[in-house]
Amino acid sequence: MTQTHIILVRHGEAASAWSEHPDPGLSVNGVVQAKEVSKTFGEKFLGYGLLSSPKIRAIETMQPIELNQQKQFVVLDILSEIPSQEIEAEDKKEWLTSIFTMPIDQLPDPVKAWRQNLILWVEGCKKNVIVTTHFMVINALISYLSKQNTMASFHPGYASRTEIWLENGVVIKLELGDSKKTTINL
């Protein structure tokens, strides 16, 4: 029996809103959050791989984890934020709000393709990993794994840990990284 543990860490608080800057770094508070979450990864996690979204806020969240684990992380484009390049900055908040509750089969094609690539990545993940990524990446994966019909199902806090346990490729447990710390055993 092979068990895989995937820990999705939402990036720390960004220095500016997603609709205001295409790739902001962390705010002062976000830097503190990143340092705090890095402390939760002790010796038990030394064998885990480290992966990050290419976005600056995710990389800056991973850097203290990398330092704590004394190994380098790998940047994976698939872990990047939901594709929204064609959405005007002033329309992003409204667009994203509509994506939250839109049925999966009605999502725009670029979002469907992005989500499908994330699903293929998680299903193919065969090693324990710590991943720094984004709100919608985490939601896309959890909504799929928990068989929901919309993309957003919970609100992971900044620098929170959402954990997925797979056994032979099948999800057996989810622990959601929100302020309420919800666990779903499947």
Instruction: Give the chain's end-to-end CA distance (angstroms, integer).
Output: 17
Give residue-wise pLDDT tens across range 72-81: 999 999 999 9
Confidence label for 65 from pLDDT (cuts 50, 70 and 90): very high
Better-scored residue on pLDDT, 82 or 21: 82
Domain boundaries, the chain: 3-158
Per-residue burial over 163-178, b = 16 or more CB atoms within 10 Å of its CB, e = otherwise: bbbbeeeebeebebbe
pLDDT range class, residue 180, cuts 50, 70, 90: low
Q: Is 37 exposed, middle or buried (0-12, 13-18, 19+ CB in 10 A)?
A: buried
Residue 6 sits at φ, ψ, to 5 deg, of -115, 120
| pLDDT tens per residue across span 3-14 | 999 999 999 999
Token pair for 40: 């939760």
State the amino acid at position 180 in one-letter form. Answer: K
Q: Please say if the pLDDT value at position 181 is more than 80.
A: no
User: In the structure, what pLDDT confidence band is assigned to residue 179 with cuts at 50, 70 and 90?
Assistant: low
Residue 155: which of 129, 181, 133 has the closest Cα? 181
- Structure-model confidence comparison of residues 110 and 177, the more confident one: 110
DSSP secondary structure string for all residues of 28-90? HHHHHHHHHHHTT--GGGTTSEEEE-SSHHHHHHHHHHHHHHTS--EE-GGGSPPP-TTS-GG
Fold classification of 3-158 is: Rossmann fold (3.40.50)
pLDDT average, residue stretch 25-38: 96
pTM value is 0.93
Q: Is the Cβ–Cβ distance between 24 and 15 less than 8 Å?
A: yes
Q: Mean per-residue pLDDT for 90-95?
A: 87
State yes or no: pLDDT of 17 exceeds 90: no
